[in-house]
Structure 1
Amino acid sequence: MNSKILKGPKLKQAAPKKSLGQLFFDCATLHGDKLCQVDGTADATESYSSVKQRSTRVAIALQERGITSKDVIAFCTGNTLDTVIPILATFYLGAKVANLDPSLSVRQTQHLIALVSPKIIFVEENAVELIENSLKQTSVKTEIIVYGRSGKYTSLGDLIQPRKNEATFRPPGVDLNEVALIFFSSGTTGLPKAICHSHKTCMLMGCTLQEYDWGQAVLHFTTFYWITAVFMLISSFMTGGYRLFLRSMDPEITLRTVEKYKVDNMFLAPILVNNFMSLGGDVKYDTSSLRIILCGGGPMSSVQQKLMSRLFQRSTILCVYGMTEVGCISLFHDERDKEFAKTKPLSCGKPFYELDLKIVDVESGQTVGTNQKGEIRVDTPCTFIKYYNADCSDVFDEEGFLKTGDIGYYDEDGCLYVIDRIKEMFKYKSWHIVPSLIEKTLTEHPAVKEAAVFGVPSGDDGEIPAACIVLKDGAKATKEEIKKFMDENVSDRERLRGGIKFVTSLPKTPTGKFIRKEIKNSYIEAL
């Protein structure tokens, strides 16, 4: 056995041999009148029995439209109590679920629709125009069904009318190795790919989550475009707990929801952590139920870590590292790794259940050991099965490990640290420059809210670091002051020789990742 390969723990029991549709249907039957979902924005709730009845009616209506396991059904909506109903109905029929996001552009949405050719798209009212304009640019023929009211299209309400055979409906059996869910890569460096997970891989992900006692009430902000929302859905059904969601991250509403519904576990992206800064360290609500705060989608800065620790002194704050292709990669266990979680706040934990991890030198391709930086590569039975209508062979190495594209290392305790993306690194005088490390130093300046660093071409030297910076509200700073601060706090090769530009905002994906290519191109064009 290779001592340079870190191994996560094994599952205590095998995953159920069920489709996702069978899992959701059986769990909804079992949990009956228990609370299933909470819309914290509208302060509305729904039981498992109600969710089952409504989703069953929609499933029958989809069957009448000829939907089978071979079809793709797409969804483009924010979070409401209605959101999950046709998604569950699609799972019941063994059809493939593909989630879009209303915040995407027409160009992005058009590309995603063309990738998967959905037979039906369920759309929130505010996104109907987005879908209509996107479909005009493709040859895809699809039916639009609207969440809410529509004078032009069928509405979800039309599908939820009582059905004669709803009492006897059962999800049909499907091949567990078939595609169940289609996610899309973030597209920070190019157009997204359609990532396919099977019923089997999704069930296994759900079982790994059960090894963590996260309580009965889980809160998230992400739409179903992101794998975290699906994690929360599967986990809540398996435990018989309830899933809470908010449509936007308002600190007051969030804390009020935590207090009222006794939230146990909350998932945040780093971009949402900044919203808590408006509280100024004052929490007027009882958040004692909140045991665990998971932060994923990117690393938290030391400033964000300190803020969250001050606001939620009774909560364990954990950084989770994952990617859509495999789910969770690393995380500290809140009990077993309690000391590490306290003493290593910038680590994203230890390898997750059923997962092997290694670090590979970017230049030589050799596996390296403790405290040596390289590409993180993983092997897990939760790995996606394919890209939809695209080749995926180049994302695996000769040993079958998935190339994450992330640079990181693990320490002497086997704790993992993620530094940056390989594609975002650049070379200056043969030195690898890691943008996130420079960005971290920039955000330590008292006037800087956020910053994006990238390389600017500089002849034989390669690329020199440059930065676009957003200042905090009311803060003032000059380029000279920022440059002096950086010269005093980074190595010579990391100095901002490429220049500094102050901007009011930085383009990001819906989860807050910089669209660095767009930022860089805009900067260079202005030179």
Structure 2
Amino acid sequence: MLKNPKYVYGPQTVLVPANINFGDYVLGKMWPFRQNVAMINGATDEHLTYSDIIQQAMNFAVSLTRMGVRKGDTIALFSENRQEYWGAVVGVACTGAILTTINTGYAKDELIHVTNISKPKYFIISSTMYEIHAKTIRSLEFVKKIIVFDGAKFQNTLSFDDLVFEKNGLIKNVNYEEFQSVEVEGQTDTLFIMYSSGTTGLPKGVMTTHLNVITACGLPASHDASKMSLTISPWYHVMGLVGTLTALVTGRTAVYLSKFSVDTYLKAIEKYKVVQLTVVPPVLVAVCKNKSKYDLSSVRMIYSGAAPLHKDTIKDVEATFPNVEGVYQGYGATEVTLAVLRYQFNDPINKLGSVGVISPNTILKVVDIETREPLGPNQRGELCAKGELLMKGYVNIGRGSDFDEEGFYKTGDIAYYDEDRYFFIVDRLKELIKYKGFQVPPAEIEAVLLQHEGIKEAAVVGIEDRAAGEVPLAFVVPQPRQTLTEKEVQNFVAERLSNPKHLRGGVRFVNQIPKSPAGKLLRKDLRKMLKTSKSKL
């Protein structure tokens, strides 16, 4: 009945509509801005208005329902950033179906793994992804129909354009005043399934409810809705998916890119007089190293997430962007529907190295690693979170060790907060490697390494890299009388896993892998070995 004085409580300021269907919620929020431009493709200058998104979403929802989609069905979205994406996202939400967004960088085995978690009946896919993965997707027995973007026609597929655009004759434009989303139980019904890798290695399906996402969209804005923004976050990732939705409800205009190159990025800033940037740290590092001359004077605010931002990088950023007024960080995870720690765009305080203050409708605690007792200011321990942003759970996995007895999610990150309740992330308890904002699970790479007939044992750790944050390095024990080369092992992994999981840190050949009496890999000992002389046979 009494608040714990060592917990940090966010204000209860997010208002939730009585009808907790995210589809209805976001359509209602976008409607007043229907004449405004929502998005601009920074590479092609294509413009997308809020009216375009609303119309596409309603038409698509009606088409899906006629096709047989029902509340609780799962629909996969597998595409690079493109303008049809948001009509598809909102349209699926309106049907009461579950949307699962899939990483466009996945290799075949990774794609099979995640789709076997969510088992989508329908696939919405770009022609680029279809040409690469058609055979794999068609081998999935639970997939009934495939819908392809960009007007592409493939055998036994449906065209997204035919289901969405009136000019194609299959659908009449739906009137906003006559449209209503399928009724859902917003507090418990799943809206999104996204994928997050835990310490077990393989990705897990994170179930996010309608209420989770409405709460995230109701948080105080981290950006000024009246100023031009630029984002390159992939929309399948929580930072891109939920982050963009939180922008759409404010009527903001944003420039986006489907892929990153330094020159294209800097040209977009100059051309559109971008004021606000949303980035991951490696992008800032690449931009600061670029010697090309672009006019970056319009940039006033930079918001960084997905990985820690080093203090020296912040100094480089301030030198590169002459008029920048603030470089802000936030902290979150797929499991907490984007961010539980953040700055607002008009926050007068920006403490160097801090990830901000607690988000509304959230409770945080920092606990002692051994005793699990809550700690006070300036004491380091594991950060734990609960509240309306906390996921429903993992698909087909019990809460187990990911939650404590009070229902707090154990983030696996070491943090502390100061006397002003500003939080600082100082280390990771989990063993995940953060490569350019991607979570790379060592156990997944180790499992692949052990498939090599010449490898007896293997262990993977992350090593610091200025440009990428961390890169994976493998310790390998060869089979007796086997001769392996570093390049051979690196290629073996590269052929089987997606780009962030490649062994950019190299391979060290050793006689044995240090383990505890229980057989657990001692990664701390491996990291100590890296600080000594180069490991070799």
| TM-score category, normalised to shorter length | 0.7 to 0.9
**Partner in structure 1 of residue 318 of structure 2:** 309
Following superposition, the deviation at residue 370 of structure 1 comes to: 2.8
Change in CA separation of 1:449 and 1:104 when aligned onto 2, cut-off 3 Å: closer
**Partner in structure 2 of residue 160 of structure 1:** 164
- Give the alignment partner of residue 368 of structure 1, picking from 360, 370, 375: 375
2:424 pairs with 1:421: no
**Partner in structure 2 of residue 400 of structure 1:** 407
2:244 pairs with 1:241: no
SS at match of 1:239: coil
- Give the alignment partner of residue 225 of structure 1, picking from 232, 236, 250: 236
1:114 and 1:449 mapped to 2: Cα distance? 30
Contact 1:10–1:354 under 8 Å retained in 2: yes
Contact 2:297–2:322 under 8 Å retained in 1: no
- Give the alignment partner of residue 176 of structure 1, picking from 186, 194, 204: 186
Following superposition, the deviation at residue 450 of structure 1 comes to: 6.3
- Give the alignment partner of residue 416 of structure 2, picking from 409, 419, 424: 409
Identity %: 24
- Give the alignment partner of residue 53 of structure 2, picking from 51, 54, 73: 51
2:474 and 2:374 mapped to 1: Cα distance? 28
| One-letter identity of the residue aligned with 1:325 | E
2:133 pairs with 1:145: no
Following superposition, the deviation at residue 453 of structure 1 comes to: 7.5
**Partner in structure 2 of residue 320 of structure 1:** 330
Following superposition, the deviation at residue 157 of structure 1 comes to: 1.8
Change in CA separation of 1:331 and 1:81 when aligned onto 2, cut-off 3 Å: same
| One-letter identity of the residue aligned with 1:172 | V
TM-score, normalised via structure 1 length? 0.78
1:407 and 1:317 mapped to 2: Cα distance? 22
Change in CA separation of 1:260 and 1:511 when aligned onto 2, cut-off 3 Å: farther
- Give the alignment partner of residue 350 of structure 1, picking from 344, 357, 382: 357
| One-letter identity of the residue aligned with 1:15 | V
2:468 and 2:35 mapped to 1: Cα distance? 46
2:40 pairs with 1:38: yes
Contact 2:100–2:194 under 8 Å retained in 1: yes
**254-263 or 320-329: which moved more?**
254-263
**Partner in structure 1 of residue 74 of structure 2:** 72
Following superposition, the deviation at residue 211 of structure 1 comes to: 7.2
Change in CA separation of 1:425 and 1:451 when aligned onto 2, cut-off 3 Å: closer
Change in CA separation of 1:188 and 1:377 when aligned onto 2, cut-off 3 Å: closer
Contact 1:218–1:232 under 8 Å retained in 2: no
> Any idea what the Cα deviations from partners look like across 1:135-169, whole Å, max 9, x if unmatched?
36644233221112133222212222422462344
2:212 and 2:162 mapped to 1: Cα distance? 33
Contact 1:36–1:243 under 8 Å retained in 2: yes
Q: How does 1:76-95 map to 2 (within 5 A)?
A: 76-95=78-97
Following superposition, the deviation at residue 241 of structure 1 comes to: 1.9
2:355 and 2:318 mapped to 1: Cα distance? 16
Contact 1:209–1:235 under 8 Å retained in 2: no
**153-162 or 58-67: which moved more?**
153-162
Contact 2:199–2:432 under 8 Å retained in 1: no
SS at match of 1:367: coil
Contact 2:365–2:385 under 8 Å retained in 1: yes
Give 5+ residue unaligned stretches, structure 2.
434-460, 478-485, 511-535
**Partner in structure 1 of residue 103 of structure 2:** 101
SS at match of 1:185: strand
**132-141 or 86-95: which moved more?**
132-141
- Give the alignment partner of residue 269 of structure 1, picking from 274, 280, 290: 280
1:381 and 1:301 mapped to 2: Cα distance? 30
Change in CA separation of 1:312 and 1:25 when aligned onto 2, cut-off 3 Å: same
- Give the alignment partner of residue 279 of structure 1, picking from 290, 296, 315: 290
**Partner in structure 2 of residue 25 of structure 1:** 27
| One-letter identity of the residue aligned with 2:303 | L
| One-letter identity of the residue aligned with 2:425 | V
Following superposition, the deviation at residue 115 of structure 1 comes to: 0.7
| One-letter identity of the residue aligned with 1:151 | F
> Any idea what the Cα deviations from partners look like across 1:67-109, whole Å, max 9, x if unmatched?
1112111111111112222222111212111100221111111
Following superposition, the deviation at residue 59 of structure 1 comes to: 1.8
> Any idea what the Cα deviations from partners look like across 1:350-373, whole Å, max 9, x if unmatched?
222222222112222222233322
**Partner in structure 2 of residue 391 of structure 1:** 398
**Partner in structure 1 of residue 221 of structure 2:** 210
**Partner in structure 2 of residue 15 of structure 1:** 16
| One-letter identity of the residue aligned with 1:304 | T
Change in CA separation of 1:226 and 1:82 when aligned onto 2, cut-off 3 Å: same
Contact 1:119–1:142 under 8 Å retained in 2: yes
Contact 2:217–2:245 under 8 Å retained in 1: yes
Change in CA separation of 1:210 and 1:243 when aligned onto 2, cut-off 3 Å: same
2:130 and 2:432 mapped to 1: Cα distance? 39
**380-389 or 137-146: which moved more?**
137-146
2:58 and 2:238 mapped to 1: Cα distance? 24
Change in CA separation of 1:398 and 1:151 when aligned onto 2, cut-off 3 Å: closer
**Partner in structure 2 of residue 300 of structure 1:** 309
Change in CA separation of 1:34 and 1:272 when aligned onto 2, cut-off 3 Å: same
**Partner in structure 1 of residue 439 of structure 2:** none
2:470 and 2:37 mapped to 1: Cα distance? 42
Give 5+ residue unaligned stretches, structure 1.
427-434, 459-468, 470-502
Contact 1:283–1:311 under 8 Å retained in 2: no
SS at match of 1:208: coil
1:304 and 1:96 mapped to 2: Cα distance? 39
> Any idea what the Cα deviations from partners look like across 1:290-332, whole Å, max 9, x if unmatched?
3321111110123322221111232211111111111212123
2:91 and 2:470 mapped to 1: Cα distance? 43
Contact 1:408–1:417 under 8 Å retained in 2: yes
Following superposition, the deviation at residue 454 of structure 1 comes to: 7.0
Change in CA separation of 1:336 and 1:520 when aligned onto 2, cut-off 3 Å: closer
Contact 2:356–2:423 under 8 Å retained in 1: yes
| One-letter identity of the residue aligned with 1:414 | R
Contact 2:473–2:507 under 8 Å retained in 1: no
Contact 2:476–2:507 under 8 Å retained in 1: no
Change in CA separation of 1:188 and 1:144 when aligned onto 2, cut-off 3 Å: farther
2:429 and 2:43 mapped to 1: Cα distance? 38
